[in-house]
Chains A and B, each alone.
Chain A
Amino acid sequence: EDQVTQSPEALRLQEGESSSLNCSYTVSGLRGLFWYRQDPGKGPEFLFTLYSAGEEKEKERLKATLTKKESFLHITAPKPEDSATYLCAVQAMVRGGQNFVFGPGTRLSVLP
Protein backbone atom coordinates (compact mmCIF):
# COMPACT_ATOMS: atom_id res chain seq x y z
CA GLU A 1 0.00 0.00 0.00
CA ASP A 2 1.29 3.42 -0.95
CA GLN A 3 1.96 5.52 2.11
CA VAL A 4 3.41 8.91 3.05
CA THR A 5 4.37 10.01 6.54
CA GLN A 6 5.70 13.40 7.62
CA SER A 7 7.62 14.50 10.67
CA PRO A 8 7.49 16.34 12.85
CA GLU A 9 3.74 16.89 13.11
CA ALA A 10 4.37 20.46 14.25
CA LEU A 11 7.50 22.59 14.47
CA ARG A 12 8.05 25.92 16.14
CA LEU A 13 11.13 27.93 15.13
CA GLN A 14 12.53 31.30 15.99
CA GLU A 15 13.05 33.64 13.04
CA GLY A 16 16.40 32.78 11.47
CA GLU A 17 16.57 29.30 13.03
CA SER A 18 17.10 26.82 10.16
CA SER A 19 15.58 23.34 10.22
CA SER A 20 14.36 20.47 8.06
CA LEU A 21 11.04 18.74 7.54
CA ASN A 22 10.94 15.04 6.69
CA CYS A 23 8.72 13.12 4.28
CA SER A 24 9.06 9.33 4.22
CA TYR A 25 7.27 7.28 1.60
CA THR A 26 6.60 3.74 0.48
CA VAL A 27 5.22 3.57 -3.02
CA SER A 28 5.14 1.07 -5.86
CA GLY A 29 6.78 2.90 -8.69
CA LEU A 30 7.41 6.54 -7.85
CA ARG A 31 6.57 8.91 -10.68
CA GLY A 32 7.13 12.10 -8.71
CA LEU A 33 7.29 13.63 -5.25
CA PHE A 34 5.70 17.00 -4.59
CA TRP A 35 5.91 19.63 -1.87
CA TYR A 36 3.06 22.04 -1.25
CA ARG A 37 2.47 24.86 1.18
CA GLN A 38 -1.00 25.35 2.66
CA ASP A 39 -2.15 28.43 4.54
CA PRO A 40 -5.20 28.20 6.83
CA GLY A 41 -8.47 28.21 4.90
CA LYS A 42 -6.77 28.00 1.50
CA GLY A 43 -5.88 25.40 -1.06
CA PRO A 44 -2.38 23.93 -1.28
CA GLU A 45 0.15 25.97 -3.22
CA PHE A 46 2.75 24.16 -5.31
CA LEU A 47 6.40 24.44 -4.27
CA PHE A 48 8.52 21.68 -5.83
CA THR A 49 8.45 18.52 -7.91
CA LEU A 50 11.24 15.93 -7.60
CA TYR A 51 11.49 12.91 -9.88
CA SER A 52 14.58 10.91 -8.98
CA ALA A 53 16.89 10.19 -6.06
CA GLY A 54 19.64 12.77 -5.74
CA GLU A 55 17.58 15.56 -7.24
CA GLU A 56 17.48 18.92 -5.44
CA LYS A 57 15.43 22.07 -6.03
CA GLU A 58 15.59 25.49 -4.41
CA LYS A 59 13.31 28.47 -4.09
CA GLU A 60 14.18 31.40 -1.89
CA ARG A 61 14.68 30.00 1.64
CA LEU A 62 13.45 26.51 0.75
CA LYS A 63 15.39 23.57 -0.61
CA ALA A 64 13.92 20.15 -1.35
CA THR A 65 15.95 16.96 -1.66
CA LEU A 66 15.01 13.40 -2.56
CA THR A 67 16.40 9.96 -1.71
CA LYS A 68 14.96 6.56 -2.52
CA LYS A 69 12.85 6.49 0.64
CA GLU A 70 12.45 10.05 1.84
CA SER A 71 12.50 13.72 1.01
CA PHE A 72 13.59 16.68 3.07
CA LEU A 73 12.42 20.26 2.93
CA HIS A 74 15.19 22.44 4.32
CA ILE A 75 14.24 25.90 5.52
CA THR A 76 17.14 28.32 5.85
CA ALA A 77 16.79 31.39 8.05
CA PRO A 78 13.00 31.25 8.09
CA LYS A 79 10.78 34.31 8.43
CA PRO A 80 7.35 34.58 10.07
CA GLU A 81 5.73 34.55 6.63
CA ASP A 82 7.03 31.00 6.14
CA SER A 83 4.54 29.86 8.79
CA ALA A 84 2.18 27.37 7.12
CA THR A 85 1.46 23.68 6.83
CA TYR A 86 3.83 21.91 4.44
CA LEU A 87 2.43 18.92 2.59
CA CYS A 88 4.34 16.16 0.85
CA ALA A 89 2.72 13.99 -1.84
CA VAL A 90 3.76 11.16 -4.13
CA GLN A 91 2.43 10.09 -7.48
CA ALA A 92 2.47 6.33 -7.87
CA MET A 93 2.18 4.13 -10.91
CA VAL A 94 -0.95 2.00 -10.70
CA ARG A 95 -2.47 -0.32 -13.27
CA GLY A 96 -5.02 1.49 -15.37
CA GLY A 97 -4.89 4.70 -13.45
CA GLN A 98 -2.98 6.97 -11.20
CA ASN A 99 -2.70 7.54 -7.50
CA PHE A 100 -1.66 10.60 -5.60
CA VAL A 101 -1.01 10.07 -1.91
CA PHE A 102 -0.58 13.00 0.46
CA GLY A 103 1.03 13.03 3.85
CA PRO A 104 -0.73 14.62 6.84
CA GLY A 105 1.56 17.65 6.77
CA THR A 106 3.94 19.48 9.09
CA ARG A 107 2.58 22.59 10.72
CA LEU A 108 5.38 25.17 10.87
CA SER A 109 5.28 28.25 13.07
CA VAL A 110 8.07 30.84 12.79
CA LEU A 111 8.15 33.29 15.66
CA PRO A 112 9.56 36.82 15.25
Chain B
Amino acid sequence: TAGITQAPTSQILAAGRSMTLRCTQDMRHNAMYWYRQDLGLGLRLIHYSNTAGTTGKGEVPDGYSVSRANTDDFPLTLASAVPSQTSVYFCASSPRRHGDTQYFGPGTRLTVL
Protein backbone atom coordinates (compact mmCIF):
# COMPACT_ATOMS: atom_id res chain seq x y z
CA THR B 1 0.00 0.00 0.00
CA ALA B 2 1.52 3.31 -1.09
CA GLY B 3 -0.35 5.52 1.40
CA ILE B 4 0.94 9.03 0.86
CA THR B 5 3.60 9.93 -1.67
CA GLN B 6 5.42 13.25 -1.90
CA ALA B 7 7.60 14.65 -4.66
CA PRO B 8 10.29 15.71 -4.94
CA THR B 9 12.24 14.10 -2.09
CA SER B 10 14.47 17.14 -1.92
CA GLN B 11 15.01 20.35 -3.85
CA ILE B 12 17.33 23.33 -3.89
CA LEU B 13 15.58 26.44 -5.12
CA ALA B 14 16.79 29.95 -5.88
CA ALA B 15 15.04 32.74 -4.00
CA GLY B 16 12.27 34.32 -6.05
CA ARG B 17 11.52 31.16 -8.01
CA SER B 18 8.23 29.32 -7.76
CA MET B 19 7.82 25.69 -6.83
CA THR B 20 5.02 23.17 -6.36
CA LEU B 21 5.37 20.36 -3.88
CA ARG B 22 3.23 17.38 -4.83
CA CYS B 23 1.25 15.14 -2.50
CA THR B 24 -0.90 12.18 -3.49
CA GLN B 25 -2.79 9.73 -1.28
CA ASP B 26 -4.43 6.47 -2.31
CA MET B 27 -6.47 5.87 0.85
CA ARG B 28 -9.52 7.92 -0.22
CA HIS B 29 -9.13 10.05 2.90
CA ASN B 30 -11.30 13.12 3.17
CA ALA B 31 -8.92 15.56 4.84
CA MET B 32 -5.39 16.50 3.82
CA TYR B 33 -2.78 18.75 5.43
CA TRP B 34 0.52 20.47 4.77
CA TYR B 35 3.04 21.02 7.57
CA ARG B 36 6.53 22.41 7.78
CA GLN B 37 9.01 21.09 10.32
CA ASP B 38 11.84 23.26 11.57
CA LEU B 39 14.41 22.41 14.21
CA GLY B 40 13.17 23.37 17.66
CA LEU B 41 9.77 24.52 16.42
CA GLY B 42 8.02 21.25 15.74
CA LEU B 43 5.47 20.71 13.01
CA ARG B 44 3.40 23.76 12.05
CA LEU B 45 0.23 23.60 9.98
CA ILE B 46 0.36 25.59 6.74
CA HIS B 47 -2.93 24.76 4.98
CA TYR B 48 -5.52 22.04 5.14
CA SER B 49 -8.46 20.69 3.16
CA ASN B 50 -11.42 18.99 4.82
CA THR B 51 -12.69 17.59 1.54
CA ALA B 52 -12.17 17.99 -2.20
CA GLY B 53 -12.99 21.51 -3.34
CA THR B 54 -12.36 23.19 0.03
CA THR B 55 -9.22 24.56 1.68
CA GLY B 56 -8.38 26.41 4.88
CA LYS B 57 -5.50 28.30 6.43
CA GLY B 58 -3.41 26.90 9.22
CA GLU B 59 -0.97 28.56 11.60
CA VAL B 60 1.60 29.70 9.00
CA PRO B 61 -0.10 30.14 5.59
CA ASP B 62 1.70 33.25 4.31
CA GLY B 63 3.72 32.66 1.15
CA TYR B 64 1.97 29.38 0.36
CA SER B 65 -1.13 28.38 -1.60
CA VAL B 66 -2.95 25.09 -2.05
CA SER B 67 -5.70 23.58 -4.16
CA ARG B 68 -7.79 20.44 -3.83
CA ALA B 69 -9.27 19.61 -7.21
CA ASN B 70 -9.87 15.95 -6.32
CA THR B 71 -9.70 13.59 -3.34
CA ASP B 72 -6.23 12.23 -4.01
CA ASP B 73 -4.04 15.27 -4.73
CA PHE B 74 -3.12 18.26 -2.58
CA PRO B 75 -0.29 20.33 -4.10
CA LEU B 76 1.46 23.11 -2.17
CA THR B 77 2.77 26.07 -4.17
CA LEU B 78 5.39 28.62 -3.22
CA ALA B 79 4.84 31.52 -5.60
CA SER B 80 8.10 33.33 -4.87
CA ALA B 81 10.37 31.41 -2.53
CA VAL B 82 12.32 33.10 0.27
CA PRO B 83 15.15 31.64 2.40
CA SER B 84 12.86 31.46 5.47
CA GLN B 85 10.87 28.82 3.62
CA THR B 86 13.81 26.44 3.88
CA SER B 87 12.31 23.52 5.78
CA VAL B 88 11.11 19.94 5.61
CA TYR B 89 7.54 19.79 4.33
CA PHE B 90 5.17 16.98 5.27
CA CYS B 91 1.84 16.15 3.74
CA ALA B 92 -0.70 14.22 5.80
CA SER B 93 -4.20 12.84 5.39
CA SER B 94 -7.01 11.86 7.70
CA PRO B 95 -10.05 9.67 7.06
CA ARG B 96 -12.50 12.06 8.71
CA ARG B 97 -13.60 15.32 7.13
CA HIS B 98 -12.77 17.41 10.20
CA GLY B 99 -9.58 15.64 11.04
CA ASP B 100 -8.53 13.15 13.62
CA THR B 101 -5.66 10.72 13.34
CA GLN B 102 -3.31 11.80 10.57
CA TYR B 103 -1.08 9.69 8.36
CA PHE B 104 2.05 11.35 7.09
CA GLY B 105 4.06 11.17 3.91
CA PRO B 106 7.86 10.84 3.81
CA GLY B 107 8.49 14.58 3.44
CA THR B 108 10.19 16.98 1.02
CA ARG B 109 13.38 18.73 2.08
CA LEU B 110 13.43 22.20 0.52
CA THR B 111 16.39 24.58 0.59
CA VAL B 112 15.90 28.13 -0.65
CA LEU B 113 19.12 29.99 -1.40
A interface residues (Cβ-Cβ under 8 A, vs B): 4, 31-32, 34, 36, 41-46, 49, 87, 89, 91, 96-105
A104 partner residues in chain B, CB cutoff 8 A: 40-42
CB closest chain-B residue, reference A89: B43
Tell me if A's interface is mostly helix, strand, loop or mixed. strand
Q: Is the CB of A46 within 8 A of B99?
A: no
Cβ-closest chain A residue relative to B45: A100
| B63 at the A interface (CB under 8 A) | no
Interface members, chain B 1-33 (any A CB < 8 Å) = 4, 33
Do B98 and A98 touch across chains, with their CB atoms under 8 A apart? yes
B76-98 near A? 1/0 per residue, CB < 8 Å = 00000000000000101000001
Tell me, rounded to whole Å, the shortest Cβ–Cβ distance linking A75 to chain B.
20
Query: Contacts A34-B102, A49-B100, A91-B100 known; A99 to B58 CB distance under 8 Å?
Result: yes
B44 is an interface residue with CB less than 8 A from chain A:
yes
- Does residue B48 face the partner (Cβ distance < 8 Å to A)? yes
Cβ-defined contact, B44 with A102, below 8 A: yes
Choose one: A32, A43, A45, A101; the contact of B107 (CB below 8 Å): A43
B residues whose Cβ falls under 8 Å from a Cβ of A? 4, 33, 35, 40-45, 48, 50, 56-59, 90, 92, 98-107
B-side contacts of A98, CB under 8 Å: 48, 50, 56, 98-99
Question: Can you list 10 A-B pairs with a CB-CB distance of less than 8 A?
Answer: A34-B102, A43-B107, A44-B102, A91-B99, A97-B56, A98-B98, A98-B99, A100-B99, A102-B42, A102-B43
How distant is A22 from chain B, measured CB to nearest CB, in Å?
Answer: 15
Name the one of B45, B50, B105 contacting A43, with C-beta atoms under 8 angstroms: B105
8 closest A-B pairs by CB: A43-B104, A102-B43, A102-B42, A104-B42, A97-B56, A44-B104, A49-B101, A98-B99
